[in-house]
Structure 1
Amino acid sequence: MPDAKTFPLNAWYAAAWGHEIGRSLAARTVCSRDVVLYRRQDGIVAALEDACWHRLLPLSMGHLQGDEVVCGYHGLVFNAAGRCTYMPAQKTINPSACVRAYPVVERHRLVWIWPGDPALADPALVPDFHWNDGTDWVGEGGTAYSLKCDYRLVVDNLMDLTHETYVHAGSIGDEAITGTPFEVTHTERTATVTRWMIGIDPPPFWAKQLDRPGAKVDRWQIIHFQAPSVIAGDVGVAVTGTGAPEGDRSQGVNGTFLAAITPETETTCHYFWNFVRTFRTDDEALTRAIQRAHVNDGEGVYDQDFTVLEAQQKAIDRNPRLPFYNLNIDAGALWARRLIDRMLEREGGGPALVPSQAAE
């Protein structure tokens, strides 16, 4: 079976947190493209192909000279537009001497890069990630760089939270998730999974945050997917009967899990994550505790996901049967995959090799 491209190029992908990019050279691989990032003296982030025009040494092995990158091999200099401005031992600069410059937008505390056709790089298409701005919602996230799995497996994971019952038992998992109906809606670029669990006992994490011993709760999970790879999950609990399903969450606690998932290669990805909240926003100790609850020396919620996802990728590599078998719980993930495929088809790459068998 021939290989097929699995990620669209004409899209904005997170390449780094803004605080990670300063006056030094930072190497990243985005959609199988090696990129070097740095912050110009005016504060704007630049992104260049990470391979010198001359002998292909990664430019990230060089250094900055003002706003230009000096190759660490023979000293060729490239400006932020990718044009060579200096060649050693000659006055004439070859007019073809340039490297690719990638469109960049810094927004929502992340640096976004467009690996496809630069003429299509509209900043208005940067995914909505406003929860991450650090204003109304508070939280500190992180990144799993070079997570060893296809980025779409992360999308599958977050679009079907029934896995919480088994992978995250003892923290956010609960049998009510698997036993409660859900609804899937979609647009041309988005898919949403909505699940309300009414009158249940809160799982340990949410019981601790709500701090209403013995109270039954209404729990919600409303997961928003933006193609090709950004997810925001509206989650929380409120005391049963206080109006949360009708829109009044004042007797509850509300959080949003955020994921900007960037393909690195066909089988690795970068996972930019955060969990932000609207309760106890001045409690810095709680912010640190929630961060540690997600990634903490292999014991956090996301650590548990990473273990499962990387094991799943190894199994796929050993057993390359297609399609996956799908259940009703996969409906949200299947819609996300369809939206990714439509983007690929518009780019002329044909349908990707993805699980497409309808759930029965």
Structure 2
Amino acid sequence: MNDTARNHILVDYPRDCWYVVATAAEVGYGFTARRVLDTSVVLFRLSDGAIAALEDRCAHRPYPLSAGHREDDFIVCGYHGCTYDATGRWVSVRSQDNPPSSARVRAFPVVERGPFVWIWAGTPGGERLRPPPATPWLHGDGWTSVGERREVAASLQVLHEHYLDLSNVVAMHPEMVPPGIEALPPLEDVEVSEVSVSYRRELPEAPLAPWEAEVTGLDDATVSASFGRTETGTFVTPGLHKQTYSIIGATGPALELVRTHGFTPRSSGVTHVFLQISWRGASVSPDIGKQLIEVFHAMADRDIAVLETVQRCLDEDPMPRRYVNVKADRAAVRARRILTAMVEDERGV
């Protein structure tokens, strides 16, 4: 099947994948209700600190369990008082001595790692075949992170393709581009495996952009020097995109940044984005966390406006339209093929 034909397939999202369902800070004793992969989920932290995730629907009637209350580590539906344990088993109901045999709601496997809580909402048992992706830069080894969560009215594919081609930065975010660089170098170094795509790009030496000078914490004499930069982007899984940006001085990296996106479909055309900005460096501004989140929040605002417009245009097209690829799309096209293949495989196509 050629790329034009693939462009015309409705690429939904694969279910058999670990996705970020919440940040660790969001899940406490109370209920955290979230819709992921067109499924309503309720999360809550147990007395031993573990996290339970259940389908947010009572097995008796279609009422959210998150609208009920807790009794120790049990969740009690607010409609008829049906009570469930952390495995989803229906353990009691006030109107009779015992609940219907084998009655339960689905419990989802979850893994808490660093700032992210991962959920497996795909084929039951499939989570045993692969763990959530490793993210060591989000928890330790000299890294510090800040983050936020957004909801974007655009599909998983639209988001991945956007962040695998940052040639748009010159047009969309000119203040981020180092002085004297009018276009990003061609995307030549692209690596592809069966399930992942990554690229690497080196920028020519140039002075620091104002935002770079602010966050690096370098003195005025050093700021005027020229620095090299290395940028990478990786489609790690359908649920995770990793982007690195290193500013290289005469003696090595002056600052290393990692922008991590947890992409989680809420539905076919709406995606939760869990953003983490991580950094380490020999010399950084004392306010670097606040500065970085302001810079990348502003970038995300503009990105989201464009991405939601792209999605709206796709939805409005009465017939599939052929859009032309250029060299900068190499990584994005590869990721599209992987997503398409995963969806087709799950559908048995």
What TM-score comes out, normalization by structure 1 length?
Answer: 0.87
Q: In the aligned structure 2, how far is the partner of 1:198 from the partner of 1:282?
A: 22
Q: Secondary structure at the match of 1:19?
A: helix
What is the CA-CA distance between 1:158 and the residue it aligns to?
A: 1.0
Q: CA deviation at 1:256?
A: 0.9
Structure 1 runs (4+) greater than 4 angstroms displaced: 1-5, 172-177, 280-284
The superposition leaves residues 194-249 of structure 1 with CA deviations (integer Å, 9 ceiling, x where unpaired) of 1111223443322434433332221111112212131111212223xx4xxxxxx6
Trace 1:104-253 onto structure 2 (pairs within 5 A): 104-122=110-128, 124-144=130-150, 146-172=151-177, 175-210=181-216, 211=218, 212-239=222-249, 242=250, 250-253=252-255
Structure 1 residue runs of 5 or longer lacking an equivalent are 243-248, 351-360
Question: Match of 1:12?
Answer: 18
Give TM-score scaled by structure 2 length: 0.89
2:76 corresponds in structure 1 to 70
* CA-to-aligned-CA distance 1:4-40 (integer Å, 9 cap, x gap): 5611111100000001101111111111111111111
1:134–1:141 distance in 2 versus 1, CA, 3 Å: farther
Counterpart AA for 1:114: W
Inter-CA distance 234–65: structure 2 relative to 1 (3 Å threshold)? same
Distance 2:9 2:164 in 1: 25
Residue aligned with 1:293, SS? helix
Give 3-state SS (helix, strand or coil) of 2:162's partner.
Answer: helix
Q: CA deviation at 1:342?
A: 2.5
Q: What residue in structure 1 maps to residue 293 of structure 2?
A: 291
What pairs up with 1:12-51 in 2 under 5 angstroms?
A: 12-51=18-57
Q: Please, what is the CA RMSD of the aligned residues?
A: 2.3
Distance 1:40 1:264, change over 3 A: same
- The 5 Å alignment of 1:82-101 reads 82-101=88-107
Residue of structure 2 equivalent to 1:246: none
Gap runs ≥5 in structure 2 = none
Hey, what does 2:299 align to over in structure 1?
Answer: 301
Q: Given the superposition, is the C-alpha separation of residues 189 and 171 from structure 1 closer, same or farther in structure 2, using an over 3 Å criterion?
A: same
CA spacing shift, 1:281–1:71, aligned 2, 3 Å = farther
Contact 1:192–1:224, Cα closer than 8 Å, also in 2: yes
TM-superposition CA deviations, 1:258-316 (whole Å, max 9, x none): 11100110000100111111126885522122112222xxxx11111111111211121
The aligned counterpart of 2:343 is 344
Is contact 1:227–1:340 with CA below 8 Å preserved after alignment?
no
- Aligned residue for 1:95, secondary structure, equals coil
Q: How many residues align?
A: 337
* Structure 1 position 135, deviation (Å): 4.4
Quick check: 1:192–1:222 contact (8 Å CA) kept in 2? yes
- Asked whether the equivalents of residues 259 and 278 of structure 2 are also in contact (C-alpha less than 8 Å), the reply is yes
C-alpha distance in 2, partners of 1:182/1:84?
56
Matches within 5 A, 1:254-269: 254-269=256-271
Distance 1:3 1:156 in 2: 15
Tell me, in whole angstroms, the C-alpha distance in 2 between the residues paired with 1:140 and 1:74.
Answer: 42
